[in-house]
Amino acid sequence: MNSSARAAAAPSITGEEHWTTKDGVRLFLWRKPNALEPRKGTVLFVHGSSMASQPTFDLAVPGRPDSSVMDWFAARGFDTWCADSEGYGRSDKQRPINCDIANGAEDLAAGAHYIAKAGGAERLLVYGISSGALKAALFAQRHPERVARLALDAFVWTGAGSPTLAERRKKLPQFTAGNRRRIDRAFVHGIFERDHPGTADQATIEAFADAILALDDSVPTGTYVDMCSKLPLVDPERIAAPTLIMRGQYDGIAAIEDLLEFFRRLPNPDKHFAVMAGISHASFQEKNYLGVYHILHAFFSLPEPVYRG
């Protein structure tokens, strides 16, 4: 039986709730364990600025197969994890801080330590999207021993040439005035309307909004403040892991020239750049999501180079 057939025949995958702490802050983790042996690797998925982890990575949409990227990877032999950053979802929200990118990278360090103790890998396959990509990249920069491979989707480096950030900067005084900002269904719709309407179907957008708003009606402002006023936050020359840059064709955050310069400076020769056709910003919730899965799977499945020179 080939790997695709084995994946299709795999049993339903039951999620597991986990908790860890960071300086007294409780952090929620969610695991979908590998359905095939041997394990292909341990994936940590990192969410963005405006939603918690489960809506992004373990979404269920009737009539849309494999809407959960965690299930898809678990069925192919990967141990999969996601975690709510402080201030999001089921993680603690009581501290009077705006939960910026650096704080999110610390959350990932705490989560990676817990995953290793819970029987996951010491070195993780890390995927981050949007501000989650910034958190993931900063985590990889600070903790190279913890990252086997790094995938950055909807990433931004300096912010140059980003129309979405140019518009968002107009609201910077509003974002700096408080630690949280309100979100609602209209806001979620806007994620899919601002760059190129039509990349996602309405049923998926509504299911995504339902899942997000069931956990949060507000989210921290820190990632928006950082992306509007403090870039760059990551030094590509200090990222040692093999790295994949994933850029949606229509993404208004990730200006391609900005990403290409970041890519050029990455020191590891095992680096890859993928432009995803028909994708805007929220790649796993869009019509071409299966193509996104396959790009990521190919990168996470690459064998180590035999010859390095």
- Per-residue pLDDT at 294: 98
Burial (0-12, 13-18, 19+ Cβ within 10 Å), 1: exposed
> pLDDT in tens for each of the 309 residues of the chain?
344 444 444 457 999 999 999 999 999 999 999 999 999 999 999 999 999 999 999 999 999 999 999 999 999 999 999 999 999 999 999 999 999 999 999 999 999 999 999 998 999 999 999 999 999 999 999 999 999 999 999 999 999 999 999 999 999 999 999 999 999 999 999 999 999 999 999 999 999 999 999 999 999 999 999 999 999 999 999 999 999 999 999 999 989 999 999 999 999 999 999 999 999 999 999 999 999 999 999 999 999 889 988
- Per-residue pLDDT at 11: 53
CA distances from 277 to 190, 249, 305 (A): 20, 5, 28
Contact 292, 129 (CB under 8 A): no
List, for residues 246-269, the tens digit of each pLDDT value: 999 999 998 999 999 999 999 999
Residue 13 phi/psi, 5-degree rounding, is: -105, 120
- Per-residue pLDDT at 10: 43
pTM recorded for the entire structure: 0.96
Q: Which domains does the chain have, with CATH numbers?
A: 3-300 (3.40.50.1820)
- Per-residue pLDDT at 143: 98
- Per-residue pLDDT at 258: 97
